[in-house]
Amino acid sequence: MGKNAFRVGYGPGQTPDLLSYFDDTLVFATSWQQHIVALRVLLRLLRRHGLHVNPSKVSIGSSSVEFLGHMVSSGTLVPTQKKMDKILQLSVPVMKKEVRSLLGLVNYHRHFIANFASISAPLSDLLRKGTPEKVQWTPRCDQSLAEIKRLFSSPPILIIPDMQETFIVRSDASDFGIGAVLLQDRDGILMPCRYASRKLLPRECRYSAIEREALALVFAVTQFQRYLIFKHFVLQTDHTLEQVPRRMLA
């Protein structure tokens, strides 16, 4: 069952209480009554477009469900145990293609980890242009892989964003990378909705501390713009906006 069925019926992303990605579809609601209404919408769409589902792959009324490699439950998101086990069982790569495979697996869940780009930098550096196909594994690579496994040894948890509540965005910069986290308040505790990070380019490493902070600020808002656009939100940085060069925010 494909996303096109919903595009025909309602237009992209406009189907209430339904999410679809290729042949994976999720129906969600905050009450049983709303859930029944959403299911009826889905069934009408299926009937209208002559689509069928496999009953053995259908789960109705579940409080926890697997969707796109994640477990969705009670307003939270965690990687599936199967995905985490694969990460914990990663071995030291010998060739570049094995490094690409390793990074492909862990990058899919990078939004669960703060400053992931800096943590994984020794591994991604192995793929630089001009480096040999047989990788030169170093102690820094060992430390990077060990840290990634440690971070996934217990399920990292994100909360599902509530678009009716205020978002808090925090940004940060180091000598080698920039990072950000999208937060919301849950019962008086700030909880992460999503992390984002990237390595600094060689020219960006020469920026002053305040310029790197400004770069991180712009990066944060850009990464989370789908949640922030047309909304009031709180932005937290290590510097006041008066200190940030205006040219960096243009």
Domains of the chain, residue spans: 4-62, 81-151, 161-249
The one-letter code for the residue type at 76 is T
3-state secondary structure the chain: CCCHHHHHHCCCCCCCCEEEECCEEEECCCCHHHHHHHHHHHHHHHHHCCCCCCHHHCCCCCCEEEECCEEEECCEEEECHHHHHHHHCCCCCCEHHHHHHHHHHHHCCHHHCCCHHHHHHHHHHHHCCCCCCECCCCHHHHHHHHHHHHHCCCCCCEECCCCCCCEEEEEEECCCEEEEEEEEEECCEEEEEEEEEEECCCCHHHCCHHHHHHHHHHHHHHHCHHHHCCCCEEEECCCCHHHCCHHHHC
Domain 161-249, classified CATH 3.10.20.370, yes or no: yes
User: Which pLDDT score is estimated for 65?
Assistant: 84
Q: Which tokens go with 13?
A: 């992303």
Torsion sign over Cα 10, 17, 111, 96: negative
Report CA torsion sign: 187, 169, 147, 155.
positive
Non-local CB neighbours of 34 within 8 Å, separated by 6+ positions: 17
Cα–Cα distances in Å, from 98 out to 52, 105, 146? 38, 11, 17
CB atoms within 10 A of CB 93: 20
Question: Which pLDDT belongs to residue 238?
Answer: 76
The pLDDT of residue 9: 45
Q: Output the pLDDT for position 202.
A: 92
pLDDT of 22 reads 72
Confidence (pLDDT) at 3: 43
Q: What is the pLDDT along the chain (250 residues), one digit of tens a residue?
A: 444 444 444 444 445 577 777 778 888 877 888 888 888 888 888 888 888 888 888 888 888 888 888 888 888 999 999 999 999 999 999 999 999 999 999 999 999 999 999 999 999 999 999 899 999 999 999 999 999 999 999 889 999 999 999 999 999 999 899 999 999 999 999 999 999 999 999 999 999 988 999 999 999 999 999 999 999 999 998 766 555 556 555 5
